[in-house]
Every structure is written in C-alpha cells, then in structure tokens.
C-alpha cells in the first residue's frame, strides 16, 4: 500500500508550494549570476521564466509566448465550436 502511495505521489504534479520552495533554493544558488527564476499561472498553465535581475528582462520563458497564444486561440475556438453545436 505504501508503495502505491509513493508511486502516485511521484506521478502527481508538484504543488504551488513545492515549486515555490524549489525556486527559492534555485534563486539563492543563482544569485551570483544575476538571474532569477519565476513561475506564474496563465490560463491554468504554469509558465517558468528566467529573468535578468539587473534589467528585469525575461531571458527565456517556458512555454514561449507563441505557444501560450496558440493555446489560448485553440481554447477560444473550442468554446465557439461547442456553442455552435448547442
């Protein structure tokens, strides 16, 4: 039974608190390099960003803005299709 619980917890995505705690440790380690990591929620998706601490510029975002826009467009189109069927 304990093995099943362990397997289920490994498959479950990390909680927001677990991500925040991990990011704090990563950001502390990366402080000398003047970059930080941040996670935001967008449309119920997790977005990770690498940010230049000096300029505030987003160096890398995962997933990229384009992917988020495509996902949003698909979500809107799906909603319209459902409305048309009703």
Kindly report the pTM of this predicted structure. Answer: 0.52
pLDDT along the chain (86 residues), means of 10: 53 79 88 83 73 89 76 73 58
Residue 36, pLDDT score: 86
Rounded to the nearest angstrom, the gap between the alpha carbon of residue 61 and the centroid of all alpha carbons in its chain is 9
Buried b (16+ CB within 10 A) or exposed e, 12-35: eeeeeeeeeeeeeeeeeeeeeeeb
Beta bridge partners of 42: 45
Distance between CA atoms of 25 and 38, rounded to whole angstroms? 12
Report all structural domains of the chain as residue ranges with CATH numbers, in order of start: 2-85 (3.30.160)
Residue 80, pLDDT score: 66
Residue 86, pLDDT score: 53
Quickly tell me which residue has 């601490």 as its tokens: 53
């Amino acid at each position: 039974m304990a093995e099943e619980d362990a397997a289920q917890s490994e498959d479950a995505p990390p909680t927001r608190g677990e991500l925040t705690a991990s990011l704090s440790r990563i950001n502390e380690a990366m402080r000398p390099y003047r970059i930080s990591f941040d996670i935001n929620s967008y449309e119920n998706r997790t977005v990770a960003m690498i940010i230049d601490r000096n300029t505030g510029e987003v160096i890398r975002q995962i997933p990229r803005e384009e992917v988020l826009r495509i996902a949003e467009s698909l979500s809107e189109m799906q909603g319209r299709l459902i409305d048309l069927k009703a």
